[in-house]
Amino acid sequence: MQFPLKFSITLVYLCLLSITTESQPTHLFNICPNSTTYTRNSTFQSNLNILLSSLTSNATLNSYAVTNGFYYSNASSSNPTETAYGLFLCRGDVSASTCQDCVTFAASNITHYCPVRKEATIWYEQCFLRYSNESFFSIADTSPSFVMCNTNNVSEPERFNDLLGATMNDTATRASNAPRRFSAKKANFTAFQTLYSLVQCTPDLSSFDCNRCLLETISYLPQYCGGKQGGRLVGRSCNVRYEMYPFYDETAAAALDPPPPPVSPPPPASPGSVPTEKGKSGVSSVKIIAIVAPVVVSVLLFVMGYCFITRRSKKKSGVVQEETGVHDITTVKSLQFDFKTIEAATNSFSDDNKLGEGGFGEVYKGTLPMGQEIAVKRLSRSSGQGAEEFMNEMVLVAKLQHRNLVRLLGFCLEGEEKILVYEFVPNKSLDYFLFDPEKQGQLNWSTRYKIIGGVARGILYLHEDSRLRIIHRDLKCSNILLDGDMNPKVSDFGMARIFGVDQTQASTNRIVGTYGYMSPEYLMRGQFSLKSDVYSFGVLILEIITGKKNSSFYQTYGATNLLSHAWKHWRDGAPLELLDPILRDSYSRNEVIRCIHIGLLCVQEDPADRPTLATIVLMLNSYSATLPLPQEPAFLSHTRTGSTESSMPTKGLVPDQSTIKSTASSVDDSSITEVYPR
């Protein structure tokens, strides 16, 4: 069973017979990542104390914050890197006094549950409180943090699941349109049983992000609590819950639910009109024709004009669409930039604005008239990427929205110009820091661990959580961009491929990608799958840990490549010898060994032996996940048949159209030990 949750997953029995009214809030769960810690009596601790005091003081009775059950703030000093950000959210139906008590209790206890942590979240039955050293306001975290399920089963599970899905989706829609991002609803299951549902987001989220968070969370309910009489999935941006008993205050919840849109009464009959058989006023045929005829003519002219313009634009652009029909320029027409606008933004593509050069063209920094900074990828005319690959990247990225994926702002197709416009990511790419002896020091262990986790979440989104199932096919250090806070963003989707929902494997006649990151089955036989990205991610992990390029191991370091170097140290019981020497003074031993372990599992020769990204994300965030022992990885000095590897580098080859096969492959994910809350 897979567990695609971002943090620890909890499957426990929860059956509350009534709404909790005890003076002490009921503690549910807490998350205390140890990737970043602070020293006692430090500036951050001082700011954190100020923040928690501010949250408590704003939870006083009759205050605006406690009346609305939500408040967020930050505490900073002269050093902006030591700023503490935090918020509290009370359940929408609880009273102001209950909210005040819960927030006060949470603020005084969170540092006891999570000592010296720069990031922490604590959940109680009536509220939750969260703080971090990085701003998270208005950012949707759509991964549930823990699950709680009632152990009692329902009768007629199929019919119940249908009712649950419809009820929860409707409740999510109502909540996303409500000012407090809260809604509760009940529906009859049988003559004697009623389904009660409640959903809530943090009110700093937009209506769109709230709805997205709730729907993604609701989609996990059948997997974890299918057929159960109650369940909840709780996250840091939204939560959902259902039970077969009233677990919330129905009167308070009803007062917060947005009312249904009013039904407009029929217009009064005009004097002299002739009533119809149903009592409605009549309108003469002449008036009907006079009103309808111009409208019909206008619509026909608009449709004809639109078809004509569309046909001309397709002819002019010469866009080649794939047989699958995925590439439809009309899906992103609103993102189209004028060439003159981009030319002005980049100062006519001056060398001073040049950020770098990739396999398919040059990248420039630009500034739009409103002051927004952008990154402009101008594809060279001699590059292998034609209209097909350009449209592939454009359509794919335009539909992908995740904090760990680079965001496409727009594109330009004019004449022979093919240009992509991305958000500007100030810290360039990972390889710019990782492989430069003078810049390596800026990547301490906590930053590298954050990059590993962020890349894993980004690729997981591509594989399982986006509307399309996507294989990146070119995951490497130079395609990992870093924002101002060194958060990773996966970029460059020119070689990506879309998979069908039930498809697990495909093949191609021509190999694309970067030698050293490509899986053996892809390089040797042209077969690629989700596990191909897993292999590339394993190489990436080992490069981040060692600070060395995979390609730099040819006849150096006493090994054939990075994988054989890593395997040698793992086999000899000295995995920490792999660690970049610049990190030797400050690192987490458990995290480093765990990452090496995961990296070696990712590069197993048989794709079935590699974990999925969902499993990898859980392995990275749960120390109680059970990891299988890795075997000797692929691409060492000899293959399983004993023949010497003799593959040639293939970097820079041009992709052609893939031949898709719906070949099922066995998937053997590692088992995960369940985690229970304290």
Instruction: Indicate the annotated binding residues for ATP.
Output: 377
Rounded Cα distance, 138 and 133, in Å = 15
Q: Provide DSSP, 424-447.
A: --TT-BHHHHHT-TTTGGGS-HHH
The binding site comprises 377
Place of tokens 């935090």: 86
**Position of tokens 């101008």?**
378
Residue recorded with tokens 């995961």: 598
Coil vs helix vs strand at 149: strand
Rounded to whole angstroms, the Cα distance separating 593 from 575 reads 7
Does residue 422 contact residue 365 with C-beta atoms inside 8 Å?
Answer: no
Tokens of 83: 């700023």
- Asked if 6 and 145 touch (Cβ cutoff 8 Å), the reply is yes
Q: What is the rounded CA–CA span in Å between residue 636 and residue 644?
A: 9
What is the CB neighbour count within 10 angstroms for residue 156?
12
Does residue 668 carry a catalytic annotation?
no
Q: How far apart are CA 106 and CA 102, in angstroms?
A: 6
Q: Is 374 helix (H, G, I), strand (E, B) or coil?
A: strand
Q: Compute the distance between CA of residue 56 and CA of residue 465 in angstroms, rounded to an integer.
A: 36
Amino acid at 542: L
Closest CA to 83 of 37, 128, 139, 43: 43
| Cα–Cα distance, 175 to 171 (Å, whole number) | 6
Angle at 444 between CA 440 and CA 445, to 5 degrees: 125
Q: Give yes or no for a contact between 458 and 489, defined as CB atoms under 8 angstroms apart.
A: yes
Q: Which two tokens stand for residue 421?
A: 């416009």
Residue of 366, 479, 361, 490 lying closest to 416 (CA atoms):
361
- Distance in angstroms (rounded) separating the CA atoms of residues 435 and 439: 8
CA dihedral 475, 479, 483, 485 (to 10 degrees): 50
Q: What is the largest CA-CA distance in the chain?
A: 101
- Rounded distance, CA 629 to CA 363, Å? 42
Q: Determine if residue 181 is left, alpha or beta; phi over 0 gives left, psi from -120 to 50 gives alpha, anything else beta.
A: left
> Cα 240 to chain center, whole Å?
19
474, 533, 580, 609: the active-site residue: 474
Would you say 104 and 58 are in contact if contact means Cβ atoms under 8 Å apart?
no
* Dihedrals phi, psi of 311, to nearest 5 degrees: -65, -40
* Geometric angle at alpha carbon 424, from 421 and 430, rounded to 5°: 115
C-beta of residue 357 within 8 angstroms of C-beta of residue 348: no
Question: What are the residue numbers of the active site?
Answer: 474
